[in-house]
């Protein structure tokens, strides 16, 4: 869904023990995910948050991991197998202008990727369409890469798509918004 995407080789630098000090998937996603839920990780890369989400939703839950790059999804598949959560993770390669998610989800995450999307309003409409009533969407963007005004325009696109802002959870080095 983007013109400029993070190269696969760079994603391996994002998944390291030091990052867990700032971005612990269990702490960030734990308040929103429970056993049996269906979660959506858009722009999943090699699965830093996908694997954490899969552990939180448990054996009866599922995580739909969406990425534009097949190389990312292939790496995620191997990592999910190593973490024994591959049976909970559904890999989906999106198109540059369409997510392609057809099933309803309880929770959606876009972590440090919306700034790469060419048509943010379209992405927000697609996310809104797949979120179940009562579900949540967590938007997280990097502070050093996304200006406050750019983040406000992303928030406006989300609200125009029908999301209601319910808070700004603290996530290190990031702008955040939680939507219902």
Query: How many C-beta neighbours within 10 Å does residue 63 have?
Result: 30
User: Domains in the chain, ordered, with CATH?
Assistant: 24-179 (3.40.50.150)
Query: Given this model, what pLDDT does residue 10 score?
Result: 73
CA 57, CA 39: separation in Å to the nearest integer?
8
Residues 114-165: tens digit of each pLDDT: 999 999 999 999 999 999 999 999 999 999 999 999 999 999 999 999 999 9
CA 122, CA 117: separation in Å to the nearest integer?
10
pTM for this predicted structure? 0.95
Query: How many C-beta neighbours within 10 Å does residue 59 have?
Result: 11
Query: Given this model, what pLDDT does residue 12 score?
Result: 66
Closest listed residue to residue 45, CA positions, set 23, 20, 66: 66
CA 12, CA 71: separation in Å to the nearest integer?
12
Residues 63-90: tens digit of each pLDDT: 999 999 999 999 999 999 999 999 999 9
Strands, E assignment, the chain: 38-42, 62-67, 89-93, 105-111, 131-142, 165-167, 174-179
Residue 169 phi, psi dihedral angles, 5° rounding: -60, 150
CB 8 within 8 A of CB 68: no
State whether residue 141 is helix, strand or coil.
strand
Sign of the C-alpha dihedral, residues 114, 120, 126, 128? positive
Mean pLDDT of the chain: 94
């Amino acid at each position: 869904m983007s013109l400029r995407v993070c190269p696969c080789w760079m994603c391996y630098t994002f998944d390291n023990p030091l990052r867990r000090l700032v971005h612990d998937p269990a702490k960030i996603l734990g308040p929103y995910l429970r056993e049996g839920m269906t979660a959506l990780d858009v722009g999943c890369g090699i699965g830093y948050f996908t694997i954490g989400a899969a552990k939180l939703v448990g054996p009866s839950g599922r995580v739909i991991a969406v990425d534009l790059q097949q190389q990312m999804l292939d790496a995620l598949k191997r990592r999910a197998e190593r973490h024994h959560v591959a049976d909970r993770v559904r890999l989906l390669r999106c198109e540059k202008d369409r997510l392609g998610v057809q099933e309803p989800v309880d929770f959606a995450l876009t972590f440090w990727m919306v700034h790469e999307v060419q048509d943010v309003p379209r992405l927000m409409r697609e996310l809104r369409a797949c979120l179940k009533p009562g579900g949540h969407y967590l938007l997280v963007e990097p502070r050093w890469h996304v200006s406050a005004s750019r983040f406000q325009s992303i928030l406006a696109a989300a609200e125009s798509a029908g999301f209601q802002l319910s808070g700004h959870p603290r996530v290190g080095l990031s702008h955040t918004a939680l939507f219902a």
